[in-house]
A and B are shown apart, each in its own frame.
Chain A
Amino acid sequence: MSKKERLVAAIENGTVIDHIPAEKTFEVVNLLGLQDLDSPVTIGFNFSSKKVKKKGIIKISDKTFTDDEISRLSVVAPNVVLNIIRDYEVVEKKTVETPDTLRGIVRCNNPKCVTNNEPMATVFNVIDKATGILKCRYCDKEQRIDRVELVK
């Protein structure tokens, strides 16, 4: 894509998160805590995309993310791509990988589960990465990754 066609301003250094399903854009913002950053953040959505019908794109200046932070994204947007930018060039592309364990990221759907009744962190083992099946460490209930809520 030429610079003329570029939809949002390029950044010198930082991270561009691309191919976010448009409706998930703000969940990604929340999950990464971007509202609390001091550096410039550009948030765009409803751009046309080949991979997803309408996509969101987020550009964060002067910020890279840890693998742990990136793995958290797997819950809301498993197919996003993170471009690491240095001196206006993409130096690395990272895809989101679903981790083996999700700790303190999503809530258990079982209202009788201890995690919903005690002040404690949830823990899920990801038992099938391809289909996104999680199993609660405590109540053993299996649930789909796209049917769980993020911890508030």
Chain B
Amino acid sequence: MEKQNFVNIQNLSKEDIMYLISMAHEFERHPNRELLKGKVIATLFYEPSTRTRLSFETAANRLGARVIGFSDPNASSVSKGETLKDTILMVGNYADIIVMRHYIEGAAQYASEVAPVPIVNAGDGAHQHPSQCLLDLYTIYQTQGTLENLNIYMVGDLKYGRTVHSLLMAMRHFNPTFHFIAPKELAMPQEYKDYCLDHHIKYVEHTDFNEDTIADADILYMTRVQKERFSDLMEYERVKNVYILRNDMLGRVKDNMKILHPLPRVNEIAYDVDDNPHAYYIQQAKNGLFAREAIYSRCLGITLEDIKNDKTILP
């Protein structure tokens, strides 16, 4: 089967997304297998992201693959000035899949054009983070039983938060209604609002964040106001404490409503929310394992049937 890259989310069709979700569901039932026994997966992290790296490496290990790579480019030949292309070609000689995190935007697309093996984008600057998006989609499906016709409320940093942008684009297949809750400085950029208009996606913008605003939500997607995305730290200090979810705001929410967050959180979800049954961000992170197991399968041409009929399932 042809090699399949996993570089961006907006190129996936509705069928692709549902197929990956079905695969992730199988991996949730049986996460430990030897489906990738004998395979080598490289994780190249040009910027640190411990959470993402651990999730990708755990997914590889739980499917029986072995892992090579670096989590600190200063310790590799990258620091000697090697081009991305050379590094990718070199590692492509060794590994069956290359998982790459890079601070440069478009790095994964370029890598996929030069690499002899599938590239998985584990985040390229402010551009894309498609595996996070797939785990978000899987979590929404898992908690709501569907991706269709949902009210999705996005809160916090909607300007720099790439997870909300990816989710917005991926949900275009499923007739969502979005509510964007953010301070003016961090409002959803015009290009994404135009994207909604072009794709007939309904959206409402809010600047206030309280019990009433979120009463109709099926999904409350909280985001961190990321200090590293600000060039002006004064602006960061001004907005960082504005949109905080507290337990006493959840009195009127719908029963099926779940609170998601790509993590790590700083203070945007108060700790008293953690024990509320609507809180779901820890389970969400766990879904990252199943989503990434599904991504590896897609990259290597392993089908849903293969996964269902897998004889290598471990107890």
Q: Tell me if chain B binds chain A.
A: yes
Shortest CB distance A77–B (Å): 28
Q: A112-B126, A118-B84, A118-B85 are in contact. Are A139 and B106 (CB under 8 A)?
A: yes
Q: Which residues of A contact B84 (CB under 8 A)?
A: 114, 117-118
- Contact between chains at A138 and B83 (CB < 8 Å): no
Give the residue of A113, A119, A120, A142 whose beta carbon is less than 8 angstroms from that of B105: A113
> Which of A136, A140, A141 counts the most chain B CB atoms within 10 A?
A140
Q: Considering the complex, give the chain B residue whose CB is closest to the CB of A120.
A: B110
Q: A137-B109, A138-B109, A138-B110 are in contact. Are A120 and B104 (CB under 8 A)?
A: no
Q: Interface code B111-137, partner A: CB below 8 Å = 1, 0 otherwise? A: 000000000000011110000000000
Complex Cα–Cα for A140 and B107 (A): 12
- Contact between chains at B125 and A112 (CB < 8 Å): yes
- Contact between chains at A119 and B125 (CB < 8 Å): no
- Contact between chains at B110 and A114 (CB < 8 Å): yes
- Contact between chains at A112 and B191 (CB < 8 Å): no
- Contact between chains at A139 and B191 (CB < 8 Å): no
A115 within 8 A of B: yes
Q: Which residues of A98-134 have CB atoms within 8 Å of chain B's CB atoms?
A: 110, 112-115, 117-120
Tell me the count of chain B residues lying within 8 A, CB to CB, of chain A. Answer: 15
Complex Cα–Cα for A114 and B46 (A): 13
- Contact between chains at B83 and A140 (CB < 8 Å): no
Give the residue of A114, A136, A137 whose beta carbon is less than 8 angstroms from that of B104: A114
Q: Which residues of A contact B85 (CB under 8 A)?
A: 118-120
Shortest CB distance A40–B (Å): 42
- Contact between chains at B106 and A142 (CB < 8 Å): no
Complex Cα–Cα for A139 and B191 (A): 14
Complex Cα–Cα for A133 and B53 (A): 37
Shortest CB distance B195–A (Å): 11
Q: Interface code B79-104, partner A: CB below 8 Å = 1, 0 otherwise? A: 00001110000000000000000011
- Contact between chains at B191 and A113 (CB < 8 Å): no
Tell me the count of chain A residues lying within 8 A, CB to CB, of chain B. Answer: 16
- Contact between chains at A118 and B105 (CB < 8 Å): no
Give the residue of B103, B105, B126, B191 whose beta carbon is less than 8 angstroms from that of A138: B105
> Which of B106, B109, B191 counts the most chain A CB atoms within 10 A?
B106
- Contact between chains at A112 and B105 (CB < 8 Å): yes
Complex Cα–Cα for A142 and B106 (A): 13
Q: Which residues of A contact B126 (CB under 8 A)?
A: 112
- Contact between chains at A140 and B104 (CB < 8 Å): no
- Contact between chains at A140 and B127 (CB < 8 Å): yes
Complex Cα–Cα for A46 and B122 (A): 54
Complex Cα–Cα for A8 and B136 (A): 67
Shortest CB distance A55–B (Å): 36
Q: Considering the complex, give the chain A residue whose CB is closest to the CB of B194.
A: A142
Give the residue of B103, B106, B125, B127 whose beta carbon is less than 8 angstroms from that of A115: B106
- Contact between chains at B104 and A113 (CB < 8 Å): yes
- Contact between chains at A112 and B104 (CB < 8 Å): yes
Q: Interface code B7-22, partner A: CB below 8 Å = 1, 0 otherwise? A: 0000000000000000
Q: Considering the complex, give the chain A residue whose CB is closest to the CB of B125.
A: A112
Complex Cα–Cα for A142 and B85 (A): 25
Q: Considering the complex, give the chain A residue whose CB is closest to the CB of B110.
A: A114
Q: A112-B104, A112-B105, A114-B106 are in contact. Are A139 and B83 (CB under 8 A)?
A: no
Q: A112-B126, A113-B104 are in contact. Are A119 and B109 (CB under 8 A)?
A: no
Q: Which residues of B230-271 have CB atoms within 8 Å of chain A's CB atoms?
A: none
> Which of B103, B105, B124 counts the most chain A CB atoms within 10 A?
B105
Complex Cα–Cα for A124 and B107 (A): 15
Q: Considering the complex, give the chain B residue whose CB is closest to the CB of A141.
A: B105
Q: Which residues of A contact B105 (CB under 8 A)?
A: 110, 112-114, 138-139, 141
19 sampled A-B residue pairs with Cβ under 8 A = A112-B103, A112-B105, A112-B125, A113-B104, A113-B106, A114-B104, A114-B106, A114-B107, A115-B110, A117-B104, A118-B83, A119-B83, A120-B85, A120-B110, A137-B109, A138-B110, A139-B127, A140-B106, A140-B127
